[in-house]
């Protein structure tokens, strides 16, 4: 039982549970936004009063493709919000925090003629002066 309690009280499990609850609430808000604002706006431009009322029937079975259209619009809005408000800022933050360490130099300057020579060279290729170890 201790292991189960430790598992539940770990930070990432609690954070994940909170994220799921917030995600469900956000989905409900976006679905209401699509149903109450976006769909009527599109309908005003296109002439259909409500996508949810669109359906076709086969053998007395209704296929509500209007609800499916509302679901697609809601999904696209959620995906756009997640992309623009989470993915882009997170990617930018990670890119700023990842600073590459400077590369180990492969060349050095000759103290006599100031030419670029390999760092392991014992003599300068330009002035032939011996290089310090």
* Residue ranges per structural domain of the chain: 2-97, 105-133
Low-confidence ranges of the chain (pLDDT < 50): none
Quote the pLDDT of residue 88: 93
pTM of the model: 0.51
Closest CA to 31 of 62, 52, 48: 52
CA distance 75 to 54: 19
CA 113 to chain centre: 51
pLDDT of residue 21: 92
pLDDT of residue 74: 79
Q: What's the CATH code, domain 2-97? A: 1.10.1200.120
**CA separation (Å) from 51 to 4, 10, 54, 86, 105?**
47, 44, 5, 30, 64
| 54 vs 41: CA distance, rounded Å | 16
């Amino acid at each position: 039982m201790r292991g189960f309690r430790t598992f539940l009280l770990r930070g990432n499990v609690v954070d994940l549970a909170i994220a799921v609850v917030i995600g469900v609430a956000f989905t409900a808000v976006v679905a209401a936004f699509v149903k109450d604002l976006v769909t009527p706006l599109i309908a005003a431009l296109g002439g259909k009063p409500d996508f949810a009322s669109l359906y076709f029937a086969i053998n007395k079975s209704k296929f509500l493709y209007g609800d499916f259209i509302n679901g697609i619009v809601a999904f696209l809005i959620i995906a756009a919000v997640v992309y623009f408000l989470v993915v882009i800022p997170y990617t930018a933050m990670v890119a700023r925090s990842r600073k590459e360490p400077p590369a180990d130099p492969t060349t050095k300057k000759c103290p006599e003629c100031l030419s670029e020579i390999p760092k392991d060279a014992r003599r300068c290729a330009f002035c032939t002066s011996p290089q310090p170890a």
